[in-house]
A and B are shown apart, each in its own frame.
Chain A
Amino acid sequence: MRFQPVIGLEVHVQLKTDTKIFCGCSTKFGAAPNSQTCPVCLGMPGALPVLNKKVVEFAIRAGLATNCRIAPRSVFARKNYFYPDLPKGYQISQFELPICQNGHLDIEVTDLNSISSGCQGGKEEATRAYSDVRRGADDEVNAGRRLKANSVKRIGITRIHMEEDAGKLVHSDIPGLGSGSGVDLNRACTPLLEIVSEPDIRSADEAVAYLRKLHQIVVYLGICDGNMEEGSFRCDANVSVMPVGSTTFGTRTETKNVNSFRFVKQAIEYEIERQIELIGEGGKVVQETRLFDPGTGETRSMRGKEEAHDYRYFPDPDLVPLVISNDWVADVALSLPELPEARRSRYRSELGLSDYDAEVLTATREMAEYFEACIALGAPAKGAANWVMGEVTRTLNEAGKGIAECPVTPERLTALLQLIEKGTISGKIAKTVFDEMWSSDKAPEAIVEEKGLVQVSDTGEIERIIDEIMAANMGQVEEFRGGKEKVFGFFVGQVMRASKGKANPAVVNELLMKKLKGA
């Protein structure tokens, strides 16, 4: 039997608001335990939540960027369960009426082999299996597109809702308490978005592509710092398998809190294998919650369906229904930054950049903005692209810095590019100037001036140097004239060295060629 995996993802995005979702406490990471708490986030008797407007704005941003409908009226609900890190004994979330619904993200799929290793079918069959289960108007379009390499696939987004995070348990020696468990409620009441996808994903690679895209968007939107190690972007994966051709999904398992792209891929692949193997042995997949162990790359059962919580959701009577006006949504829409997809196509069509350049330059909003600042200042597009992707990125990486902290401002880089364009300095000299700008906080013109790096394009001056060098190396001149054209490089090197790199290489090439050929 051949199997088709079916995957849906629930992503928790921690919002980077200054204060918590229902109180005024700071959300800063890493403070002393319980130092960022108040009666509200401690769940003190009598304390009441008040919604942080910024959280709503961030949720609207996320909804608009993922093509969701923004609900004019949404409701907060209580999710009831006991755990020591949950101060009120319930989490304020949204249930029946979330803020965003019915969105989608388009991902690029390069690997069409979405049918798992347990199956033998070809691409056509895979596509058929896929389009059989796929609901919605885009079925045929998607299925058709999937036959091409690098095709686009649409992943539905069921809903996005706002909720508060829980605190953290610390199991260790606690100063003053000895060994045991402590509760740190600094994180309690921190704002989260939960973004729930439709079960449209068919492979671990698609899952990762979707997650990368979503991650890029929330970081671009400025609503999440994207830090996966600190848990700012984490994912629960719902995985099931069904026989190819079936229209009924298999029983799914939910793997909790996977916090890296690599782990998501591992966890999903493991889970697909495990389920197929289990069914192959005549067993049955049970609905359960599982945990991923990064050490072994395996998932293991955490709790079964019978131990599943009955969360007893009901509308939170402490919060009034959230009403969002069309005007507010329109205002937020106007304030959205240009998203990577739109940027990429603009770079291609307006700036004439290659797919590769457009992709690399839009990888982060900061890099794209740096690049665009250079363009706005009059830098040539291709030159700016090469420099941002090359010298700038390399030096930043060496220094372990982000582009936002780049000591060479777009103004300085543009000035440098213009010096090259005007022929004042060569590209090679420009690298020296760039290094100097990095460490000295000086304008490129000043550095060129100070160090006498102005390119020599004066043909008389260059001719003089060439003549001297040819005179001193007659042997090589003969070799060249005898047909050994490789020595041309030797002469270029000698001329450049003699000019301390300042000779205009184009002029050098031209004159050398003329003179060597004995013209």
Chain B
Amino acid sequence: MPPQTEILMELHDLTIHELHDRLKRKEVSSVEATRALLARIEAVDPKVNAYITVTPEEALAAAQDADRRIAAGDIAPLTGIPIGLKDIFVTKGIRTTCASRILGNFVPPYDGTAVARLKEAGAVIVGKLNQDEFAMGSSGESSAFGPTRNPWNLECIPGGSSSGSAAAIAARTATATLGTDTGGSIRQPASHCGCVGLRPTYGRVSRYGVIAYASSLDQVGPLTRDVTDCALMLQAVAGHDPLDSTSVDLPVPDYTKALTGDVKGLRLGLPKEYYIAGLDPDVKMALDEAIETYRGLGVEFIDISLPHTDYAVATYYLVATAEASSNLARYEGVRFGHRAEGAASLIDMFRKTRAEGFGAEVKRRIMLGTYALSSGYYDAYYLKAQKVRTLIMQDFLKAFETVDAILTPVAPTPAFRIGEKTRDPLQMYLSDIFTIPVNLAGTCAVSVPAGMSGNGLPIGLQLIGRPFGEETILRAAHAFEQATAWHQRKAQI
């Protein structure tokens, strides 16, 4: 029998399905796996800062429950699996900050739907993960709890806004995580951290209990070590929720059944607007290689056009900020969260609370959104943006008449250095240029590891599917994963 420590060192590297097999065979208990993860967090997280709150007591109690279930022969794919949640998910009795000072002391009285579904499946919640404040950012640097670092290179950003959710996968401090994607917030950090990240179709997963940034764009999705795990996580959280009017009442397919490995005859579109000059050479190379790999698997490539791509970023920063300016109005210190001391009047209390509680990026977006909705500007900005959004949606629907999915880069460059773009918001905004159109169109997309840059940073590729076409993109991503070894690489930390 190998020494205890070696077993523990091993457990945190496992995928969901690998750990599940061991739990099922009773080779390991959920308590052991959870302890291993908690030990790993203690050892590694001070360097990465992926967690805002770690919940060892609750996690071990849940692990014991899971072990009892397993002993009774009641084991679901996520039973006993240690999972981390972006701190945007409301968790009953566990502090939920959304990485903002304004919610620094907020302990919610309820669980959101996705969290409740994970718990029902027997998952073990190990803690709440760092992110950009209110999910506003592409680098993880806008968190009130300090930036998260990229486990592949601690000087680099992990991407954002689900920065902790991606970094925890790369650092092996969670077996799987849940994030949210409003403009690329799952796919871009997944790409930068070398993990799989899925943004499901709008309406596929309930938003109830997800702190709203931009309600018409937000969607919950998993970040995992491989595509099979991604399918298992989606399976657990997908489906109609009567508490979310925008969740769609469509049957949930068996996503793991879609992972056949067979992509022969699949038609992948290459949009000319995404293959732009200025694309990082390493990203370009990874993509070219991926195309070759797919060709070898019998995939057919078709050149397509998504003509309104150029307007996506501007459209996004009108729609998202407008909704955010309204969604964030409830943080005024009356009922929960931070309240400023020493205010002279009610209005003064609102002003001080919000001035102290929100960070610079959040304030910037509230102001942008307030402006876009203001009387006299509404038609020129918000309404116009909604019209462009419809055009972008139509671009995709038209493309899907001739292709099954679309292959693109996730981000124009690999992860940049911490602090590199914080002074130039516009440059930061442009780093989401390939992910934002998917949110505006309301459709689904997955990021899978597809290469490494010259300086050792992961590069992902994006597969965009038609609305509720998660099975197709997961199948394509899984086939690619089977043909390559990028997902097996581990950050040395």
Contacts and interface: CB of A to CB of B under 8 A. Distances in A.
A166 to B, nearest CB: 12
Nearest to B110: A39
A314 interface: yes
Interface in B70-124: 89-90, 96, 98, 103, 106, 108-110, 112
Interface string B362-383: 0000000010011100100010
Interface in A138-184: 183
A82 B243 contact: no
B450 interface: no
Interface stretch (B45-53, B168-176, B210-218): B210-218
Given A39-B110, A87-B335, A89-B332, A312 B373 contact: yes
Contact of B244 (A39, A48, A87, A88): A48
Interface string A45-77: 111111100000000000000000000000000
Contacts of A50: 242-245
Which label, helix, strand, loop or mixed, suits the secondary structure of the A interface? loop
Contact of A49 (B245, B328, B370): B245
B350 A82 contact: yes
A45 B103 contact: yes
Given A45-B98, A80-B329, A317 B245 contact: no
Contacts of A43: 330, 335
Nearest to A50: B245
A501 to B, nearest CB: 67
A50 to B, nearest CB: 5
B112 A80 contact: no
A84 interface: yes
B335 A51 contact: no
A404 interface: no
Contacts of A320: 245-246
B208 A47 contact: yes
A317 B216 contact: yes
B243 A318 contact: no
A53 to B, nearest CB: 12
Contacts of B328: 89
Contacts of A82: 329, 332, 347, 350
A168 to B, nearest CB: 13
Contact of A46 (B108, B350, B373): B108
A46 B336 contact: no
Contact of A312 (B89, B90, B210, B370): B370
Interface string A313-326: 11001111000000
A78 B208 contact: no
A46 B90 contact: yes
Contacts of A310: 374-375
A314 B325 CA distance: 11
Q: Bin the interface of chain B by size.
A: 35 or more
B425 to A, nearest CB: 23
Interface residues of A, number: 28
Interface string B196-229: 0000000000011111101110000000000000
A50 B207 CA distance: 12
A39 B373 contact: no
B334 A183 contact: yes
Contacts of B335: 42-44, 87, 183
A320 B240 CA distance: 14
B336 A44 contact: yes
Nearest to A82: B350
Contacts of B90: 44-46
A45 B346 contact: no
A89 B245 CA distance: 20
A44 B212 contact: no
Interface string B333-375: 0111000000000110010000000000000000000100111
A317 B246 contact: yes
A47 B111 CA distance: 10
Nearest to B103: A45
A312 B326 contact: yes
Nearest to B241: A48
Contacts of B110: 39, 44, 47
B181 interface: no
Contacts of B212: 45-46, 318
Interface string B241-254: 01111100000000
- Which 3 A-B pairs give the minimum distances between C-beta atoms? A89-B329, A317-B216, A317-B215
23 contacts: A39-B110, A42-B335, A44-B90, A44-B335, A44-B336, A45-B96, A46-B208, A46-B212, A47-B209, A48-B207, A49-B245, A50-B243, A50-B244, A80-B325, A80-B329, A88-B330, A89-B328, A89-B330, A310-B374, A312-B326, A312-B375, A313-B373, A317-B214
Interface of B: 89-90, 96, 98, 103, 106, 108-110, 112, 207-212, 214-216, 242-246, 322-323, 325-326, 328-330, 332, 334-336, 346-347, 350, 370, 373-375, 378, 382
Interface of A: 39, 42-51, 78, 80, 82, 84, 87-90, 183, 310, 312-314, 317-320
